[in-house]
Structure 1
């Protein structure tokens, strides 16, 4: 009887292993890196994709541009291997031109706009018009802005356009490898600017508004498939899911505007 029970147990274990192997047929791992603006939606969407497909997504994060050690250009430059990049559209276009990302695989997932925060409970300055924004920037004792796409736009275009770039040299600083709102929340900056999706996810700050339309920048965040990938089919499945109607409510909830484009393949 003992031997029979042992045999039955062994058979049950073997059957369970076989079922597990069958269920995981075709399941693979894929490496995906995203920049900050899409990262909140990304973290919520990945588990849904994994459950639907059985594939495993290894998640990585870095700025769209810049030379920070964890920025996407830096990580690619030192040979880190990814299958899909999700970052600001203009930055992705550079990688396509360089041959890093396959031409014809770009899909714009969502649009992002720039806003500002102050520490929770602090007075909320006015940035609703160009003149109000200029005055608020000049009066702020310390300003934090992103080292990625939105911050580059602010420092290279908005501040000069407002005629205050020189006046902000001592008060405005670029934030590397950290959310701008986190810096404001702990009191290291009075005023912080970044994409809305990156501001909304941080506690300890109050949102004061978006940049006025005359100086606002709408940035598409886009996905592309890395040329060297061996997982192109899975990459296409993943991007297709992120661009789907199913994913749209989550993207919208995180402060971005889903685009739901058709796939180019």
Structure 2
């Protein structure tokens, strides 16, 4: 009898529970560190895995346009508005993660230059043997602003051969941490995320760019409900606290 039961059990079809696919996120470097930390907490609480691909704002938008698979997109307000207008994001799901300033970074332990005014910032940039920022040609938010600022300060020619550009702000700040550049201009959150770099401070008001970062569900999302749940987590109390710790101003 026992043998017949065992044989019947072996012959019965096996039921395999399919594991839900990860929630796919496309995000920018400015939100990367906070989003990764919060996604880990979300996974721990819900059991839902999250994959996050990051690049600068322009590249992230281009990837979505080129058909990259995504459930949730985290990008600058201007990019999110364009993508929503193009029908690639569901505009009704837009939520603000926080607002970010651009700052200057030096290698940890290095003297911090005065950047309290435009004149002081101009002098600090000119005094640096090499500076670094993200690549404006790819649509990087901080890099585009840095290049325009240097042009407006009238020092573009002097700095042309002394400027390193990188795909993202984090890599530019890493160049400072490694001693390959003396000064980096990047989003404050990207500076705080690099252990070997130190924030000098935000740029002065007259040279500043305030960027709002938003999350929105992709129109082609394979897991809309998962994306909305993750967005709730990113913009909830825990999310706001983590983004504030990264230098964001949150509501």
TM-score normalised by L of structure 2: 0.86
Counterpart of 2:93 in 1: which secondary structure?
A: coil
Aligned pair partner of 2:163 in 138, 157, 172? 172
Partner of 1:46: 39
Aligned to 1:214: 206
Secondary structure (helix, strand or coil) at the match of 2:155 reads coil
Deviation, structure 1 residue 77: 4.3
CA-CA distance at 1:143 after TM superposition: 0.8
Inter-partner Cα distance in structure 2 for 1:92 and 1:165: 30
**Contact 2:114–2:124 under 8 Å retained in 1:** yes
Residues 133, 165 of structure 2: 8 Å contact kept: yes
Cα distance per residue 1:35-63 (max 9 Å; x no partner)? 11111111110021123323221221111
Once residues 121 and 49 of structure 1 are traced to their aligned partners in structure 2, the CA distance between those partners, rounded to angstroms, is 35
- Structure 1: tracts of 5 or more residues without a match: 12-16, 66-70, 260-265
Could you tell me which residue of structure 2 aligns to residue 124 of structure 1?
112
The structure in which a higher percent of residues are helix is 2
Tell me, which stretches of 5 or more residues in structure 2 are unaligned? none
Q: CA deviation at 1:166?
A: 3.1
Say if 2:50 is the partner of 1:57: yes
Whole-angstrom CA distance in 2 between matches of 1:258 and 1:236: 19
Q: CA deviation at 1:168?
A: 2.2
Contact 1:31 1:83 in 2 (8 A): yes
Tell me the residue number matched to 1:37: 30
Q: Secondary structure at the match of 2:96?
A: strand
Aligned to 1:262: none
Correspondences of 1:141-156 after superposition (within 5 Å)? 141-147=129-135, 148-156=140-148
Q: Does structure 2 conserve the Cα–Cα contact (< 8 Å) formed by 1:243 and 1:258?
A: no
Q: How well do the aligned residues superpose, as a CA RMSD in angstroms?
A: 2.6
Asked if the contact 2:65/2:88 (under 8 Å) is kept, the reply is no
CA-CA distance at 1:235 after TM superposition: 1.4
61, 64, 68: which one aligns with 1:76 = 64
Spell out, residue by residue over 1:20-43, the C-alpha distance to the aligned partner (whole angstroms, 9 max, x if none): 95xx89x55311111111111111
- Aligned pair count? 241
In structure 2, how many angstroms separate the alpha carbons of the residues matched to 1:189 and 1:205? 11
What is the aligned partner in structure 2 of residue 159 from structure 1? 150
